[in-house]
Structures are given as C-alpha cells and as structure tokens.
Amino acid sequence: MMELVPHIINGLTLGLLFALIALGFTLIVGVMEVINLAHGSLFALGAYFALATLGGGWFGSTEFGVWWLSLPIGMRYVFALVVGPLLAAGAGMIIELCLRPTYGKAPLYGLLLTFGAALVVEELIRLIWGTGEQSLTVPQAINGAFLMGGLIFSKYKFFAAGFALLAIGGVWFFLERTPYGAIIKAGSHDSEMVRALGYDLSKLRLLVFGFGASLAGLAGIILTPIWGLRPHVGLDVVIPAFLIIVIGGVGSFWGAVLAAVLVGLSVGITGAYAPAWSMMSMYLLLIAIVGVRSRGLLGRKSALEN
Amino acid sequence: MSKSKLTRRALLGSAAAAGGLAAFAGPWKHNRVWAAGTDKPIKIGITSDASGQYANSGASDRRGMLMAISEANAKGGVLGRKIETTHIDTETTPATGSRVAERLISREDCGFLVGAVSSGVANAISQVAQRNGVIYLNTNSSSPTESGKNCHRVKFVWDGNGTNFAKAAVRNSIDAYGGKVLLLTNDYVWGHDTAKATRTLIDQYGGEVLDEILIPQGTRDFSAALLKIQQTNPDVVAAAVGGDDQIALRQQVAQLGMGSKPAWINNQQDWPDVYGLPLDNLFGVFGTTWYYGLDLPGVKEFVERYQTMYPDTSMRVPGNVFYNGYMATRELLAAIERAGSTNNIAIIKQLEGHVMAAADRMQHDDAVIDPITHQVQQTIYLATANDEPRNEQDMFKILTQSSPQDVRDEASLGSCKLESYDDTPSFDA
C-alpha cells in the first residue's frame, strides 16, 4: 500500500497540470460554444514567445539585448510568464476575428477554421523558430530534485502543480467574484439578453477568446520544461483537453478540474502498475463516465433531459 | 482460284491483334512496365515522416536523400537521366505509410521508394513495395524484424538495428555497472524487438531482467515510470524509447538527476532527437552509426557540403539520420549506374552483397549489404555525452567502435526469408 502513495501524489500533480491545460479550452467552449482546435497551437505559441523573451531572441545582439541577458534568469522568467500569455492572447484574438463569419452557422465551420488556424500557427512556429527541439530554461530555484520518502521527485513538477492550483483559483475568482466574470457567465447562459442589456457581445467574445488563449499560452510555458518544446507539441495537448471537458461536462469549470484530476490519477497509477494501459486509461475513463452519465460529471442538463 | 493478298491494312491489323494478345497473355509477374526512355527522369518517391513522433528525424532523413540526389543531378544524373522526387508525408503512421506507398507507385509512377524512421511505417511501406516489385530503401528504422521476419527482396535496411546496438552496449554496461537490468520499452514494434534482443544478450552475459516497463507511444509524462524505476532499484536501465517520447524522457530524467544512477543504455540515439538539448539531457551510453566529429577523411568536407546546401537549417551539422538517408540514396543511384539499366531485378542484384569501402562511407570498417538479410553490416559506435565539447554541436564522445562482425545480428539470418526473384514483379523504372 505504501508503494502506491508516491503514485497517487504523482497522479494528483499530473491532474493539476492537465487542469491547467484544459482551463482555457473549457472557457472558450463554455462561453462561445466553439471547439477551439487551435488550443494546442496557442499552447505552443505561448511557450515559444516565452522562449524568445527568456533568451532575448526579440532583441538580437543589440545593447538592450546584452543588458537583458545580464538580468537574473528569475526576473526574465517572471517577465516571460507575463509576455508569453499576453502575446498568445493577441494571437487568439486574431483567430476570434476570423471566426466571426462562422457564428450562427453549423459548428463544423468553426471547427474547420480553428483546425486551419492550428496548422497556420504551427507552420509559423516552424518558420520562425525552426523545426528542432528547443529547451525552455527555468530558474535554478525551481529546477532539480528533492527526496521524499526515499524517492526522488522533481521540484519543477511540484512548482508547476502549485502554479496550476493558483491559476485555477485565479480563474475561478475572476469568473465568480468580479463583474467581468459575471458578464462572461451571463454571456454563456444567454448571449442575447446580455446584448439587450447593452453589453457589446463582439467585444465580450474577443476578450473571452483572448483570455482562453492566454491560459493556453500560460499552460505551454509551465508544461514545456517537462514535455519538451517543438513546433507540434500542441498536438499532445488537444486530445487530453478535449477528453477532460467531455468527462467533466462541457462548460463546467469545476467539472473540468475534477475530470483533470481523475485523468491524472488514472494515468499516474496505471503508469506504474500497467504502463502499457496508461494512455488508454484516459479513454476508458471517458467511456465509463460518459456511458453512465452522458452530460459528464458536472455538465448542465440538456433541454431534452427535462 | 482466288489468290489471297496481304494488304498493309491487314498486316497492321494482325500485328496489333498479336500485340494485344501478347500483352493479355504475357507473363503476369511483369505486370507493370514503364517505358525506359532515356530522356524520362527517374522518379524516386520519398516516404519520410513530416508529422507525428518522428517528424524531426523524417526531415533530416529527407535532407540526406535530397543532397545525394542533388549531387547526382549536378553530375548529369544517372544513366544520362535526371532524378526527380515526390514526397508525401507518412505521418509516423503505418496505415498512412501503406497509402502513401500505393499512391507514389500507382499515381506518381515512382520506380523507387526511399525513407523511414518508424519500423511500423517501414514494414507497411515494404509490403506494398514488394507487391509491386519497387525497390524500397529503409533508411533509418532499426527494428531487428526489418531485416528479419519482415525482410523483403525489394527492401534494403541501412541503419544499424536494435540487436547491433545492444551488442555494442549491453556487455560493457553489465561489466561496468552490474547485472540487474530494467527494460524501458516503447510499446511498438521497434521497442519490442529491441527489448527482445537486449533480453537475449542480458541472459547471455549473465545479467538478470528485473522488470519491463512499457511506454505507450505519445507518452509525455514519465514520472510514474521513473518512480517505478526508483522502487525497483536496478543497476542498469536499458531504454528503447524513441522520437519525441525520448526527448520528454531525457528532460525528466535530467530534472531528477537520475542520469548517472542507475546507469542508462539508450539503445540508439538519433541526432535530431537530442540536437539543441542541454548536455545533462544526454546521459547514459548509446549507439550510433555515424558522428560528424569522427576523425576520418572526408567527414569535414561532407559537413561543409551539408552546410552549403542547407545554410538556414537550425541543425548546423549532419547527424546519423541525415547520413543514412544520404548514403542509402547515393548507393541506390550508384547501383543503377552499375546495372546500366533501371530494371529492378538488375539493380537488386547490384545491391546484394555490395561492399562499400570504409573511406567512402566515412566509417572505420568496410560495410556490406548482406545478401541474406539486405541489412547493411557496418561499424557501430558507442557514445556518451561529451563533457569537453569543442563547440555547442560537439555533443557526443565516442567511447568504442565495434566492427560489423562483432555486432552482427545472427538471429535475422535465420528469420529472414527473402522472396525469390521470380516471385518479385519485374519492371524498368
């Protein structure tokens, strides 16, 4: 039994990282009813923007570039954590502007457009940063390992899980405790009423998409020091994110968090005892939950169920 | 009595009918014939991955082939004919590999197929190639089954395989670090075949396999496996994990500082998988067929040609994947030239048993294309991270080199059953 404990801890940390990945995805699906297949590319883009910020790639070998690189890595890392998501948000907003003609049409149009956007972003990354593997350096204080119960754990992974917890709390606070969050939630519930109350729905959608994209970018910065950074790294993200929001219930914030933790636990524990099934366990969990409860763990009841 | 008169119309009609009959009743094995006009370009289908787990290696493989073709075209082509290429992405997926091979052969009229990193994809392509008699060069996939039970008359395997690399590494590691070994295996054909070969060698050298952890393709989080390794406490971890999976594994092992204890054997290390990574990611020992830092004649010029042809490539020096792509293609073109024909059977005969001088291949030993398995028997190098690099590209330190005889995959000699020449469709490309 004691042997299982480290795997449960590992599964929980992994689950929090999955939750971080799914946050932006669930926000966009919940509010805009758009399945954003470019989520993975925005994840990668955030990480590449952070890479350019951290390594001073923006500034080249100018005097400012040299000064920038002389700053402590911790300071540059914090700056990258802000700049990366902001720029990813900008890219997300451009995608939202392109999406506008698809509103009110069959969902397939939005799906195809975001799929196309994903390909474009990935290709742009290849053109700008090349096809090879990159490494996002993190400050020494959060790098390395520590011993717990005679086993070595990664400091960075615990930092990332803690950061994911903070991000989840922050997004919850924003949605539940601020007037902007109230408008976003109202927009997801009844967008026409929000418009009738005088709010600019176009601006709301733009901001929600930007916010979702910034969360994708943030997840990219946090996860790529573990997963590695390459132009197609976003592909590794879209499927777990999609699974998580379906298991959790489309549009449900806490449903997504709960589902992510369950997915993390199932992958973590099967990874130790039946490793060949570790990836498959996500899909089995999906089948088990959706088979019993078609709207997911905390999804809203559909009109047909009333 | 009327005398029959053979008119020109009747003669032409008879000739056409006879021709049609001959074509209809002709030998079915000669089912595809392309006009071998001397001005017609020779078409090579490139079957490398541009997406999926081996996208990066696929790009490097492709660059190698294109440099060999460009050099041949600059000299006037082969048999006076230019060489053209068509590339379709095989997506690191066997089903796509089959579709791509079918399309390149039937719709693009390619007379040769070149390229693979994933053994599953290579196997799928080679089945289509054999059915059509199209020569296929498996440039970079290294499952022992590729030149064992999945060998084909039309297929030639250019990389060292899992057994070759394991032979170079296992004994040294058991002697140096101890015999308790844990296998970390990518859950697909290359991983399984390599692990099987490693197991055999561990038994042979008196070691013991404590456990085997299977890693599904696409795994990005290795923490569960790494915890399990710590709980099992082996002397050596023998890893057969490739592509992007391996990159993620390396980063996570380095973060935990587990690169030196336990000792790691990373069966083979493809250059594109580690290029640009920090040096602490490059732990353990691993096999390779070539390194740009080998102190051999021709290496420096080869690197310069690469840099001239690919000035904007982020990978500033060629690695083993590029090398295999280049060598395979160059030798195919040389075989066509030696055959004096583009007939596939004639070219196959030129390739079988062909000896390639060490100096030409920039390796320490002469290499030979084994006529029984169609795998290139070549020098295998055992390397580790270079703790005294001359520059940021100088990532490997070559520890030992093994001659082809010392690392020969004996098992494949018995398991490979090549189709006969008669059972292989013949055509001129």
Residue B83 lies inside a defined structural domain of this protein: yes
| Residue A275 in contact with partner chain B when CB distance is under 8 A | yes
Q: Which of residues 379-418 of B touch A (CB under 8 A)?
A: none
Residue B137 lies inside a defined structural domain of this protein: yes
Q: Which ipTM was obtained for this model?
A: 0.83
Examine the domain organization and report whether B184 and B277 are in the same domain.
Answer: yes
- A163 CB-near residues (< 8 Å, 6+ apart): A20, A222
Nearest by CB to B223, from A10, A144, A228: name it.
Answer: A10
Examine the domain organization and report whether B313 and B337 are in the same domain.
Answer: yes
Residue A139 lies inside a defined structural domain of this protein: no
| Residue B187 in contact with partner chain A when CB distance is under 8 A | yes
Pairing of strands B285-288, B380-385: antiparallel
B398 φ, ψ (degrees, to nearest 5)? -80, 125
Distance separating alpha carbons of residues A301 and A299, to the nearest angstrom? 6
Examine the domain organization and report whether B154 and B300 are in the same domain.
Answer: yes
Nearest by CB to B244, from A152, A228, A279: name it.
Answer: A228
Distance separating alpha carbons of residues B397 and B33, to the nearest angstrom? 50
Domain final residue pick, B288, B322, B356:
B288
Predicted confidence band at A59 (pLDDT cuts at 50, 70, 90)? Answer: confident
A-to-B residue pairs, Cβ atoms closer than 8 angstroms: 119
Token representation of residue B286: 């691993």
C-alpha to C-alpha distances, B421 to B122, B396, B418, B424, nearest whole angstrom: 21, 42, 9, 5
Residue B179 lies inside a defined structural domain of this protein: yes
B310 φ, ψ (degrees, to nearest 5)? -125, 65
Tell me which residue of A175, A143, A140, A137 sits closest to A159, measured CA to CA.
Answer: A143
A6 CB neighbours in chain B (<8 A) are: 227, 231
Nearest by CB to B258, from A152, A157, A225: name it.
Answer: A152
Residue B31 lies inside a defined structural domain of this protein: no
Look at residue A190 and tell me whether its pLDDT is greater than 90: no
Rounded to a whole number of angstroms, the distance from the CA of A25 to the nearest CA of chain B is 20
Examine the domain organization and report whether B72 and B47 are in the same domain.
Answer: yes
Nearest by CB to B214, from A6, A143, A275: name it.
Answer: A275
Number of structural domains (chain A) is 1
Nearest by CB to B257, from A10, A144, A270: name it.
Answer: A144
Residue B173 lies inside a defined structural domain of this protein: yes
| Residue A74 in contact with partner chain B when CB distance is under 8 A | no
Domain final residue pick, B238, B261, B288:
B288
Per-residue pLDDT of chain B (429 residues; tens, 9 = 90+): 444 444 555 545 555 554 454 444 444 444 444 444 467 899 999 999 998 878 889 999 999 999 999 999 999 999 999 999 999 999 999 999 999 999 999 999 999 999 999 999 999 999 999 999 999 999 999 899 999 999 999 999 999 998 999 888 888 888 888 999 999 999 988 899 889 989 999 999 899 999 999 999 889 999 999 999 999 999 999 999 988 898 889 989 988 989 888 999 987 889 988 888 888 888 888 899 999 999 999 999 999 999 999 998 889 999 999 999 999 999 999 999 999 999 999 999 999 999 999 999 999 999 999 999 999 999 999 999 998 898 889 999 999 899 999 999 998 999 999 999 999 999 999
Q: Do A272 and B230 touch (CB under 8 A)?
A: no
pLDDT digits (tens, 9 = 90+) for B71-102: 999 999 999 999 999 999 999 999 999 999 99
Domain final residue pick, B258, B288, B318:
B288
Residue A288 lies inside a defined structural domain of this protein: yes
User: Which residue of chain A comes nearest to B233, CA vs CA?
Assistant: A151
Q: What is the pLDDT of residue A89?
A: 97
User: Which residue of chain B comes nearest to A269, CA vs CA?
Assistant: B224
Token representation of residue B204: 């042979």
Helix (H) or strand (E) run with residue B376 in it = strand B376-377
Pairing of strands A151-154, A145-148: antiparallel
Q: What is the pLDDT of residue B356?
A: 98
Which residue, chain included where needed, has tokens 């005969």? B349
Residue A305 lies inside a defined structural domain of this protein: no
User: Which residue of chain A comes nearest to B278, CA vs CA?
Assistant: A135
| Residue A305 in contact with partner chain B when CB distance is under 8 A | no
Number of structural domains (chain B) is 2
Q: Do B274 and A133 touch (CB under 8 A)?
A: yes
Examine the domain organization and report whether B276 and B330 are in the same domain.
Answer: no
Distance separating alpha carbons of residues B208 and B70, to the nearest angstrom? 49
Q: Do A275 and B216 touch (CB under 8 A)?
A: yes
- The half-sphere exposure of A259 on its side-chain side, counting CA atoms within 13 A, is 35
Residue A19 lies inside a defined structural domain of this protein: yes
B211 burial (CB, 10 Å; 0-12 / 13-18 / 19+) is: middle
Secondary structure percentages of chain B, helix, strand, coil, to 5: 40, 15, 40
The CATH number given to whatever domain includes residue B113 is 3.40.50.2300
Q: Do A144 and B314 touch (CB under 8 A)?
A: no
Examine the domain organization and report whether B236 and B145 are in the same domain.
Answer: no
Enclosing domain of residue B193 = 163-288
Tell me which residue of B242, B213, B217, B218 sits closest to B230, measured CA to CA.
Answer: B213
The CATH number given to whatever domain includes residue A176 is 1.10.3470
User: Which residue of chain A comes nearest to B185, CA vs CA?
Assistant: A276
Residue B336 lies inside a defined structural domain of this protein: yes
| Residue A158 in contact with partner chain B when CB distance is under 8 A | no
Share of chain A above pLDDT 70, in %: 98
Q: Do A132 and B187 touch (CB under 8 A)?
A: no
pLDDT digits (tens, 9 = 90+) for A143-163: 889 988 888 999 999 999 999
Tell me which residue of B130, B135, B182, B188 sits closest to B162, measured CA to CA.
Answer: B188
Examine the domain organization and report whether B175 and B156 are in the same domain.
Answer: no
A226 CB neighbours in chain B (<8 A) are: 220-221, 248, 251-252, 255
Enclosing domain of residue A108 = 5-132+148-296
Residue A208 lies inside a defined structural domain of this protein: yes
Q: What is the pLDDT of residue A299?
A: 85
Interface test with A, best of B48, B244, B255 (most A CBs within 10 A): B255
Examine the domain organization and report whether B300 and B155 are in the same domain.
Answer: yes
Residue B309 lies inside a defined structural domain of this protein: yes
Residue A79 lies inside a defined structural domain of this protein: yes
Q: What is the pLDDT of residue A91?
A: 97
Predicted confidence band at A302 (pLDDT cuts at 50, 70, 90)? Answer: low
Residue B29 lies inside a defined structural domain of this protein: no
Distance separating alpha carbons of residues A199 and A195, to the nearest angstrom? 5
B252 CB neighbours in chain A (<8 A) are: 154, 226
Q: Do B224 and A236 touch (CB under 8 A)?
A: no
Where do the DSSP E strands lie in B154-311? 155-157, 180-186, 208-215, 236-240, 263-268, 285-288
pLDDT digits (tens, 9 = 90+) for B151-198: 999 999 999 998 999 888 888 888 888 999 999 999 988 899 889 989
Examine the domain organization and report whether B284 and B170 are in the same domain.
Answer: yes
